[in-house]
Structure 1
Amino acid sequence: MKKRDEIPVCDTWNLADILPSDEAWEALFLETERELAGYKEFEGHLAESGEVLFQCLKFDEDISLKIERLFVYGREKSDEDTAKAKYQDFSARAQALSYKAAGLSSYIVPEILAMNESVLNGLIRTEKELRRYARTFEIIMKKKAHTLSAGMEELLARSMEATQSPSDIFNMFNNADVKFPSITDSEGKEIPVTHGTYIPLMENRDRRVRKEAFQSMYSVYGQFANTLAATFAANVKQASFYAKTRNYASSRAYYLAENEVPESVYDNLVAAISEGLPLLHDYVAVRKKVLGLDEIHMYDLYTPMVSRDDSRIPYDEAREMVKKGLAPLGEKYLSLLQEGFDNRWIDVYENEGKRSGAYSWGVYGTHPYVLLNYSGTLDSVFTLAHEMGHSLHSWFSDQALPYVDAGYKIFVAEVASTCNEALLNRYLLAVTEDKKERAYLLNHFMESFRGTVFRQTMFAEFEAETHRRSEAGEPLTAELLCRLYHELNVKYFGPEMMVDSEIDYEWARIPHFYTPFYVYQYATGFSAAMAISSRILAGDEQALEGYFKFLSGGNSMPPIELLKLCGVDMSTAQPIREALAVFKELLEEYKTL
């Protein structure tokens, strides 16, 4: 494992585009900290004139953008090497500053809601600049029944710094502290098991390697199961606390309302996927047969059913593959993709202490950034396409909209990224003439479905059930969490699968559980992306035009309405059923091959 300073600069992201130096961070921090006192000037005066209301909202917007710059720089520097205390301090200080700002600004929404609607409309008529905040006012009014007094809002805002501790503890444990026992490969060479190497090891053709990697990882989570259960439970409790305090029926209702998503969307997803589980059971049976196994285990899920040249795909080649796959999106999209490749938007390779996984993130007013842990597998190529989908979605929204409307809701966050993956997969299937390679790609596409639609919906069921039980007063012990998780694996993978006891601890390593009710959106986003990509590939110009409107839509309208621009209605289960139909087609074609 290379240390951070051993990675070539050209393969690292350039955070100087956010702030030129650590010294600039400190200067901006002190400047922003001083400016927070400005909130007091507006308190109690928002109804006096349209100009006062506008100046307050603009001040709040400017402070938010500065804090975002501080936080993203600090967290991304920390993610380069999570063991560096300096940048842990940067992100912690920026987060503390955001909580302080939230407390000082907490009067804004209650004061707006206290106005008679005719008074507010009058202020907007007299101050044209307030039209910039039309969508902000719309969202505020939707939350009227869940907004408390100014004093209570301030208290809630001040409490958030303490209640985020479960997420912070899990992040430090999972990225900086946890170590897994090494294993040996088929030639007796020692192989480290890390977050970055785990999936490639699970894809290994040698079953012993897969099994030992699987046992290596989950043996460690098993050792810390009680601690991680307490951390998980604390996070569930803090979610429930805010939901109840804001007069929501449940934490699920609260978090879905934040994204303007009806709870029926969640229920439609779980119900439609439950109906479609025989397809997953069939897939497991096919996998067992093709791999020639007497028993199929959880560690047999990732290895390709068709062998492929094991040579690693160089990163430069991966970039070319992605560009060719995304060609149907047009020249403007491809030129922006190339700009990201050429100008150090991407932190490419794993290094010692680097945060695991991958993400896209950035600051309004600068380009987005992508964190990868590129390992040369085909999965890594798809991850590159996926994260650049996020980045260009952000780029288009930032270019089209003011800061206050540019940040899209989480519900639509996975659509552009998954659409990129679907286009790349369809391209690779279209250009291969080799039956074996085609079977491999079909397998890969089906694995995308399994991992994103079936698996994330299973996570969603687990999350909904754990939150429900906690809100009913039931303690979330390690024993309970493991039992619930085991039962869901049995339900989802069906009668052919040997559900190993180690998988019972998988809940303990899923970081997205610390962003409550996030994971279901992978499945809904994937389903929407299947519909959109199919129409684009069919040459539907209206769909392509609608897609770019969607990419530029940010948070300018509710997410369900944004997707309707692409001809996709996620208020129904139809997109989920369409996605399952695609999975069935892939499975049937695979069987014939």
Structure 2
Amino acid sequence: MAETLKKRNEVPEELKWDTSRIYKTNEDCMEALHECTKISFEIEEKYKGKLTNGKAINDCLAEYEKFLILVDYVSNYTSLNVSVDFTDAELQRIDSIATNEYMEAFSRLSFIESEISDAPKEVLEQALETATIAKNYLKDILRAKPHRQSAETEAALVALNEVFRAPYRMYEQTKLADMKFPDFEVKGEKHPLGYSLFEDNYEYEKDTDVRRAAFTAFSSKLRDYMYTTAAEYGATVRTEKILSKLGKYDSVFDYLLFDQKVTRGMYDRQIDLIMEKLAPHMRKYARLLKKANGLDKMTYADLKIALDPEYDPKVTIEESKKYILDGLSIMGADYQDMLKEAYEKRWIDFAQNVGKSTGGFCASPYRKGSFILLSWNERMSDVFTLAHELGHAGHFKACGDAQNYYNNNVSTYVVEAPSTINELLMAEYLKETNKDDKRFRRWVLSAQIANTYYHNFVTHLLEAAYQREVYKLVDQGEAVPAEKLNEIFRGVLEKFWGEDVELTEGCELTWMRQPHYYMGLYSYCYSASLTIATQVMKRIRSLGAPAVEDWKKTLAAGSTVDPIEFAKMAGVDITTDAALIDTIEYIGGIIDEIESLMD
């Protein structure tokens, strides 16, 4: 049973990531912050009102890149430190000071994009022709030109960026600092409860009474903050609608999809096809879970349990290293070196402590390695999570090594492909190394469904389906109070799970748990990326080394390609339904094989 969480200062250093790889001390970070401000004044004095020819534009962008890299380091350093302990007021103070100062600098430099966008056509053509590092950046400015405001308005919008981010900050504070969960009791025994304890432990708990009681207690506390969270989320979506109107977009969807460089059709296809064609397969999986666990009924609180609860291999952090290195060996020697460095140089925050962000993520400051957050519970599922986040690390190492800072970002539509393919490669490795053990094979197959595909094709996809309905209302100028959000989320669950899953009271509050809603249209990108990853994995299994090399070149492409070109480089066509339908059939095939191995 899970123990009461430790405070951050009680956690051993070896379980924490090492942010000194960015800056040794807070003082060093503040010094870099002041350097950012200094550079911004120098650029303003040297170039404002003078971006009248291609040379001036490119010289300015070369200096601006140095500023952007410094901000990347400062913002990551302060926000990463906060993310592992939202109860530390001093870390919050430093992060707030840093954010305010570099956002002022961004506002000061907003003239760069405005002047470039307003420059005569011949000047822009000259800048593009002679650009050495910022060609794609210039193309993006031109692409956004129809949606730009006046220079004064753009500067004001940049200055207000921290205000626009405030609802997300308040959401994180509400969730990670304000919510205090009381113990809950089952058969006379008390159990501690917290956000990460519930999401990382109790959702997977073998004891049905404890698991369901934990869900009830957790939901009860969520409900106490329902109106606050709805207000925070409502402020976010209303802000996005206002910004879409200011930018002269046809809808809030067009505004949010613009930077992803995908069409509304690609977005809708992902949601509609999965809701229709994957639902029958997942209902079958729910029935298998019920049968395997001998449940009286299948409830929403039971969906995360193991298919074989008595067969749940425990894995220490040290043991995970061999799994990771062996399972991802197909990626080659350079990739192996990166994986070893992640363990040796403390890229990973394994700790469980009070105030730490839930879930997992990977932040990758430019050419500084990565910072991976997760909470280690000694489950094999943690190995899959770690492989996933190391996929992000490998992606941005490849981008960083091959590209300048301007070309280092990628569309969120594909950003989860390098992470989810690592989970698939791990599963293939485990199946290969235990060919004759049918129980182990069934366990690996069920782990693929319960972890990789459930997380990306179900959890996040249902969020995306809910999110789409919210934005439809926002686009029409309607309000989205807490009761409406509950109604929408429950409706999505009913549509997907049908009569095979009893929707436990509190299921409708699941919308309160996900930070992705504060990141635009991000949730659907998980299934979009995993569609690409599944097809690439199948290609690697079929073609071997040539497919691996294609994939590694794709990883290094950064933002020099859009999502369709990214997939094409890796040998996948995402311009039609075919790749998604094939992936759904692949998931169905796994579930069918699980059923055949049930005995």
Aligned counterpart, 1:516: 520
Alpha-carbon spacing, 1:506–1:408, altered in 2? closer, same or farther (3 Å): same
Aligned counterpart, 2:57: 53
Q: TM-score, normalised by structure 2?
A: 0.95
Deviations 1:18-45 (A, max 9, x none): 0111111122222222332224321111
Deviation of 1:283 after TM superposition, in Å, equals 2.1
Aligned counterpart, 2:299: 297
- The answer for unaligned runs of 5 or more in structure 1 is none
Contact 2:37 2:102 in 1 (8 A): no
Deviations 1:276-310 (A, max 9, x none): 12222222223223333332101111111212345
Identify which range, 480-489 or 133-142, moves more after superposition: 133-142
Contact 2:182 2:192 in 1 (8 A): no
Aligned counterpart, 1:408: 410
Equivalent residue letter for 1:29: L
Aligned counterpart, 2:79: 75
Contact 1:298 1:503 in 2 (8 A): yes
Q: Are 2:568 and 1:564 aligned?
A: yes
Alpha-carbon spacing, 1:123–1:579, altered in 2? closer, same or farther (3 Å): closer
Contact 1:307 1:440 in 2 (8 A): no
Alpha-carbon spacing, 1:407–1:123, altered in 2? closer, same or farther (3 Å): closer
* Residues paired across the two proteins, number: 589
Residues in 2 aligned to 1:330 and 1:176: alpha-carbon distance in whole angstroms: 42
Residues in 1 aligned to 2:444 and 2:31: alpha-carbon distance in whole angstroms: 51
Residues in 2 aligned to 1:181 and 1:362: alpha-carbon distance in whole angstroms: 36
Contact 2:313 2:380 in 1 (8 A): no
Alpha-carbon spacing, 1:319–1:137, altered in 2? closer, same or farther (3 Å): same
Contact 2:372 2:389 in 1 (8 A): yes
Contact 1:546 1:565 in 2 (8 A): yes
Identify which range, 561-570 or 28-37, moves more after superposition: 28-37
Q: Are 2:426 and 1:436 aligned?
A: no
Contact 2:30 2:98 in 1 (8 A): no
Residues in 1 aligned to 2:164 and 2:96: alpha-carbon distance in whole angstroms: 14
Aligned counterpart, 2:183: 182
Deviations 1:208-234 (A, max 9, x none): 111011112111111111111111111
Residues in 2 aligned to 1:193 and 1:109: alpha-carbon distance in whole angstroms: 45
Deviations 1:98-127 (A, max 9, x none): 3212321222222222223222223455xx
Residues in 2 aligned to 1:453 and 1:429: alpha-carbon distance in whole angstroms: 22
Contact 2:462 2:492 in 1 (8 A): yes
Aligned counterpart, 1:372: 374
Aligned counterpart, 1:453: 457
Identify which range, 92-101 or 65-74, moves more after superposition: 92-101
Q: TM-score, normalised by structure 1?
A: 0.96
Contact 1:347 1:372 in 2 (8 A): yes
Residues in 1 aligned to 2:83 and 2:268: alpha-carbon distance in whole angstroms: 35
Q: Percent of aligned positions with the same letter in both sequences?
A: 26
Contact 2:260 2:412 in 1 (8 A): yes
Query: Which runs of structure 2 are paired with 1:354-393 in the superposition (5 Å)?
Result: 354-393=356-395
Query: Which runs of structure 2 are paired with 1:146-545 in the superposition (5 Å)?
Result: 146-183=147-184, 188=189, 190-276=191-277, 277-310=279-312, 312-432=314-434, 433-447=436-450, 448-545=452-549
Residues in 1 aligned to 2:267 and 2:33: alpha-carbon distance in whole angstroms: 40
Residues in 2 aligned to 1:485 and 1:106: alpha-carbon distance in whole angstroms: 39
SS of aligned partner of 1:370:
strand
Deviation of 1:189 after TM superposition, in Å, equals 5.7
Deviation of 1:325 after TM superposition, in Å, equals 1.2
Residues in 1 aligned to 2:257 and 2:227: alpha-carbon distance in whole angstroms: 29
Equivalent residue letter for 2:265: S
Query: Which runs of structure 2 are paired with 1:32-47 in the superposition (5 Å)?
Result: 32-41=36-45, 42-47=47-52
Residues in 1 aligned to 2:292 and 2:397: alpha-carbon distance in whole angstroms: 43
Deviation of 1:186 after TM superposition, in Å, equals 7.7
Equivalent residue letter for 2:417: V
Contact 2:33 2:102 in 1 (8 A): no
Equivalent residue letter for 2:101: L
Equivalent residue letter for 1:489: L
Deviation of 1:197 after TM superposition, in Å, equals 4.5
Equivalent residue letter for 2:393: S
Residues in 1 aligned to 2:193 and 2:272: alpha-carbon distance in whole angstroms: 40
Contact 2:407 2:560 in 1 (8 A): yes
Residues in 1 aligned to 2:66 and 2:563: alpha-carbon distance in whole angstroms: 25
SS of aligned partner of 1:164:
helix
What is the CA RMSD across the aligned residues, in angstroms? Answer: 1.8
SS of aligned partner of 1:360:
strand
Alpha-carbon spacing, 1:569–1:96, altered in 2? closer, same or farther (3 Å): farther
Contact 1:329 1:544 in 2 (8 A): yes
Residues in 2 aligned to 1:496 and 1:123: alpha-carbon distance in whole angstroms: 60
Contact 1:264 1:571 in 2 (8 A): no
Equivalent residue letter for 2:93: D
Equivalent residue letter for 1:183: F
SS of aligned partner of 1:407:
coil
Residues in 2 aligned to 1:472 and 1:228: alpha-carbon distance in whole angstroms: 22
- The answer for unaligned runs of 5 or more in structure 2 is none
Residues in 1 aligned to 2:34 and 2:334: alpha-carbon distance in whole angstroms: 40
Contact 2:328 2:422 in 1 (8 A): yes
SS of aligned partner of 2:182:
coil
SS of aligned partner of 1:244:
helix
Equivalent residue letter for 2:439: K
Identify which range, 74-83 or 35-44, moves more after superposition: 35-44
Deviations 1:433-469 (A, max 9, x none): 3222222222111123222112322111111110110
Aligned counterpart, 2:584: 580
Deviation of 1:473 after TM superposition, in Å, equals 2.0
Alpha-carbon spacing, 1:123–1:192, altered in 2? closer, same or farther (3 Å): closer
Contact 2:329 2:336 in 1 (8 A): yes
Q: Are 2:84 and 1:96 aligned?
A: no
Equivalent residue letter for 2:353: N
Alpha-carbon spacing, 1:290–1:310, altered in 2? closer, same or farther (3 Å): closer
Alpha-carbon spacing, 1:220–1:187, altered in 2? closer, same or farther (3 Å): closer
